[in-house]
Amino acid sequence: MLEVLQFIAILSTAIFAGAAIYINVAEHPARMGCDTKTAVTVWAPSYKRAYFMQASLAVVGFISSFTVWFLHGGIMWLLGATFIGAVIPFTFIVIMPTNQKLLAPERDLNSMETRELLVKWGKLHAVRSVLSFIALVIYVGLSLKA
């Protein structure tokens, strides 16, 4: 049972981290190479599609790694759970207000403020990439020790 939970924690965190890093390294910079209206127009459906996938992966990664720790998996599993779990409140508390501003129906899609919000969103999303990558490094380190 413990090994299955470890596998689920590592897999879900790895997929989350890979997707998050891809967004920061490739997808968001590519859309930011476009004019602001195009960038925000492309950002909206991308965000909506990624939201459910990444939210599910973060929750599964957190719950499975927390459970591994709870079942005597060691304090490092709790540390990893803390990092992957941190993306959840960070998203709701810190990133969500920016998302809501970008999705506002009255938003001027060509404005400098919209461009600045997209830049801010990219920086905030990078925090999610770093947090999930740290969790993944912890889990891979644990699996290599085993």
* pLDDT tens-place values along the chain, 146 residues long: 889 999 999 999 999 999 999 999 999 999 999 999 999 999 999 999 999 999 999 999 999 999 999 998 899 999 999 999 999 999 999 999 999 999 999 999 999 999 999 999 999 999 999 999 999 999 999 999 86
Helix 2-22 crosses helix 112-145 at what angle (to 10 degrees)? 150
Q: Are 83 and 134 in contact (CB under 8 A)?
A: yes
* pTM exceeds 0.75: yes
> Where do the structural domains in the chain lie, given as residue ranges?
2-145
Classify 111 in phi/psi space as left (phi over 0), alpha (psi -120 to 50) or beta: beta
